[in-house]
Amino acid sequence: MEKIVKGKAFVLGNNVDTDQIIPAEHLVYSLSDPEEKKKYGHFALSSVPLTQSGLPMGGIPFITGQNSTSEFNIIVGGTNFGCGSSREHAPFALQAAGVKAIIAESYARIFYRNCVDGGFLLPYETTFNLNKKIKTGDELELNVETNTLKNLSSGEIFSLRSLGDILPIIEAGDIFKYARHSGMLE
């Protein structure tokens, strides 16, 4: 696991649900077929509500053309990120699109656990609404050891809540690898 994650921000609002992250109509692709797995990345965030200009909140599409990965690898959201159904495909789709971390004010409980249990993404929390201080396309640097986010575009530094007890699970790769490594499973 990377201790420093650098990349571009993709900013979203509140209540981004799992149908917006990966629409149910795209859950037909096989997770064991490498070519079909790419479809999850291609359709990630394809149902986020659009502004009057026909683009997401930041004015830039998450995935362009026929690409299956995005130029944005850090998502900044508001409250209740990942609400909706309990599909495990949502954090996987974001990971398949190249996302490494999400920073939000709060998460839906099941989405948060799916991020951690599958080892898909770093789900950081903040105590204030970062999506008002960061713009889509800003260059960010997330430091896992200091729990800080630096906006390289503006120079601002933000403190994040520690990952706490979930960090070893994410470092291990997923909940089962962690359980084996810690002696809970043989």
Per-residue tokens: 142: 């997330």
Residue 120 scores a pLDDT above 60: yes
- Residues 30-76 have pLDDT tens digits of 988 999 999 999 999 988 876 655 555 656 789 988 999 999 999 99
111: left (phi over 0), alpha (psi -120 to 50) or beta: alpha
Residue 185's pLDDT is: 81
Residue 86 scores a pLDDT above 80: no
Share of the chain above pLDDT 70, in %: 95
Domain residue limits, the chain: 4-181
Q: Which CATH class is domain 4-181?
A: alpha beta
Mapped to the 3 state alphabet, what secondary structure does the chain carry?
A: CCCEEEEEEEECCCCCEHHHHCCHHHCCCCCCCHHHHHHHHHCCCCCCCCCCCCCCCCCCCCCCCCCCCCCEEEEECCCCECECCCCCHHHHHHHHCCCCEEEECCECHHHHHHHHHCCCCEEEECCCCHHHCCCCCCEEEEECCCCEEEECCCCCEEECCCCHHHHHHHHHCCHHHHHHHCCCCC
Burial class (CB in 10 A: 0-12, 13-18, 19+), 135: middle
The long-range contacts involving 175-184, CB below 8 angstroms and separated by at least 24 positions, are 175/116, 175/117, 175/118, 175/119, 177/119
> Mean pLDDT across the chain, nearest whole number?
92
pTM equals 0.92
| Average pLDDT rounded to a whole number, residues 88-105 | 96
Find the farthest-apart pair of alpha carbons in the chain and give their distance in angstroms, rounded: 55
Per-residue tokens: 75: 């998502």
- Residues 139-167 have pLDDT tens digits of 999 999 999 999 999 999 999 999 999 99
Angle at CA of residue 104, ends 100 and 106, nearest 5°: 130
Q: What Cα–Cα distance (Å) separates residue 159 from each residue in 73, 97, 116?
A: 19, 26, 21
Distance separating alpha carbons of residues 9 and 4, to the nearest angstrom:
15
